[in-house]
Structure 1
């Protein structure tokens, strides 16, 4: 076994989980900036409007690759070096996006951005290792909230910055912020690992062990399916929401639509308590209540055409519910195999990535052919499926 000194969170600033949350949110936001910028990118780089969506698709595909290929490295190499090196490469990729002279170079740069954005999951796994067992749920909840907030505010940030300086300024700004975060994390991240891994474990064996975890760990299977379902519902709302809000009935701008992410932030922040409940052994009860709220949230969301207030209420409830389940999922999974937290994180988030892709594809198709009520029926149906699945499997894993 490779021996490392155990890093203690007691040696860090008390606000270290907040720094991890900010770094995680900042990194994951990089794969969502493009959504409100597609029209501007299409015009600037002469990319056909009918195929400009490939920019988002390429980024998400390579994010999924990163979950499987890069996140497990956190169990094998020094996490501090892994985080710092990936952030530096990410800053370079973001700058390359901003300077892209053509669609080909843009897609190549965005692929690298997506691949490296998985640093967020390495940070989550690292945070769970640094936290004491009694505090793990709370810390994971805080850092995960940073990720959800980063996703929600990415559209708001991109809309505002692009209105002020063009779409390229969004990526240049993110590159600068990333470099600043490198400096901050370099000062606080421990130089010693907090876990021990076999010295003889190769990268290929590491990836094989990830697939063994899928087969052997029932909690990963069950919580992974829940992640797939809740993020299908999450993506169903957030991918398609721009469509009814930009139509003549409301005619909101991209910046105005992006501001709705602020209401989602309120829900995500409220769900931090879910981590504390998981620490107290109430993970299953928290999951059940949150999934029931997720199902209920689609009722006010279905009234979007009649009332923006109803939409806002639905957004807050939906994001609270999704975040509560997500935090509880990770808290329960991380408690299972401390020596495999990075692999468990990567494996779990693959389900998240699949769910996000399914929700995006299905919701835009349904809206184009059947309208907003069909989108809401999809979201409610997936939410009901998640609640039913939890009910059937709730006694199969510890709470």
Structure 2
């Protein structure tokens, strides 16, 4: 592949799309490594259970800030060089986290890991711009499937490695994979021409009006983040639930939590189908279906959460619903023809992870105060807000390639 190729000269081949999906999976892993390891981190720094959720919270806030300050640059700079530089920052951030000497260092390093793990959100607009208009949902779904695989693998790896080699080992090993990925991308990822000649500060200034002027971004930025917050709420509290008297997996809870992520593997195959559904119907239809599924997941886990099969079913539905919502919302946003695609995606995903950070914090806090019932009730509140937004402010239905 010619390194000087631009997006105008290229089509989205299957091999290039698979490379993007692999990149998504490897780069997002650093955001979710901590979820099965929170109990070990709390013990390492003598931090109470109600506070250790801040590790996930700071990681999510960092990701949101990366979305806000890095991703918009995709409109004004060449994306390949931006991706490679961000991967280098991610590599050093992961290594720095492994060397944490105190809880504040851990929080700061967690923020930087999140800040530099936004590669997927640089790839999604690129995949959308390279794909044919009627296949954007499927292309975005494939990239997000890579992200889902990375999330599942990260939970599984950290849940396995943490109890055996310590939580620090997870963060010592992961930079090696980031370095290998950066080398591969340097060789094969195509270069892309900037879509705007605005300055960086002009871009940041223009983002302030996106929610006000763009109804698609506005509605998606209410629905998607609430579903993601419920998702983060669950995954931050699951280790503590598995350690509770309901299950009693005290010594193996992190490993079992990591294995629990495997029930979401179906989403790797089903999420592209939801992207195809977005192409054939409308993204809004798929978004509404995703919100309804998330609501049913929390109902199942409220009633049957203390049964391992009921919990597994709820996890599977919640994983699929959350990831399908992300694909459909991003397909909706990237269907708006504009040189400001990166900014639209940035605003949506910034809000997505800031609200997700709230869900991460509430996971450990709510479980410590109100137990599993409180976690499920909070999840239902988040999903109910998403459904309310879908049937009120989100009532824009359209063909994927129309103005909105």
TM-score (norm 2): 0.89
CA–CA separation in structure 1 for the residues paired with 2:55 and 2:291? 32
Task: Give 1:241's aligned residue.
Answer: 238
Deviations 1:8-41 (A, max 9, x none): 443x652222221221122122022123334434
Task: Give 2:226's aligned residue.
Answer: 229
Task: Give 1:218's aligned residue.
Answer: 215
CA–CA separation in structure 1 for the residues paired with 2:256 and 2:124? 31
Alignment of 1:170 with 2:167, yes or no, is no
Alignment of 1:364 with 2:364, yes or no, is yes
Cα distance, 1:292–1:104 mapped onto 2, change above 3 Å: closer
CA–CA separation in structure 1 for the residues paired with 2:57 and 2:67? 16
Alignment of 1:140 with 2:137, yes or no, is no
CA–CA separation in structure 1 for the residues paired with 2:99 and 2:360? 28
Shift of 1:338: 3.6
Cα distance, 1:280–1:8 mapped onto 2, change above 3 Å: farther
Cα distance, 1:165–1:327 mapped onto 2, change above 3 Å: same
Which shifted more, 114-123 or 46-55? 46-55
Residue-pair matches, total: 391
Where do 1:57-206 residues align within 5 Å?
Answer: 57-103=57-103, 105-193=105-193, 196-198=195-197, 201-206=198-203
Shift of 1:166: 2.4
Deviations 1:277-317 (A, max 9, x none): 22224323222222222222222212344311111111111
Alignment of 1:314 with 2:311, yes or no, is no
Deviations 1:187-216 (A, max 9, x none): 2211232x5212xx1111010111121221
Structure 2 alignment gaps of length 5 or more: 400-404
Secondary structure at the counterpart of residue 396 of structure 1: coil
Q: Tell me if structure 1 keeps the 8 A contact 2:52–2:364.
A: no
CA–CA separation in structure 2 for the residues paired with 1:358 and 1:101? 26
Which shifted more, 314-323 or 98-107? 98-107
Deviations 1:203-250 (A, max 9, x none): 110101111212210110001101122112212222222222111331
Cα distance, 1:380–1:42 mapped onto 2, change above 3 Å: closer
Deviations 1:23-82 (A, max 9, x none): 1122122022123334434555x4544655443333332222211111101111000000
Alignment of 1:20 with 2:42, yes or no, is no
Secondary structure at the counterpart of residue 190 of structure 1: coil
Q: Tell me if structure 2 keeps the 8 A contact 1:29–1:150.
A: yes
Deviations 1:116-149 (A, max 9, x none): 1122211222222222212211010111122233
Secondary structure at the counterpart of residue 191 of structure 1: coil
Q: Tell me if structure 1 keeps the 8 A contact 2:224–2:352.
A: yes
Task: Give 2:259's aligned residue.
Answer: 259
Shift of 1:256: 1.0
Cα distance, 1:341–1:240 mapped onto 2, change above 3 Å: same
Cα distance, 1:211–1:297 mapped onto 2, change above 3 Å: same
Shift of 1:102: 4.8
Shift of 1:101: 4.6
Q: Tell me if structure 2 keeps the 8 A contact 1:240–1:367.
A: yes
Q: Tell me if structure 1 keeps the 8 A contact 2:58–2:357.
A: no
TM-score (norm 1): 0.90
Shift of 1:397: 4.4
Cα distance, 1:335–1:23 mapped onto 2, change above 3 Å: same
Cα distance, 1:312–1:152 mapped onto 2, change above 3 Å: same
Shift of 1:180: 0.8
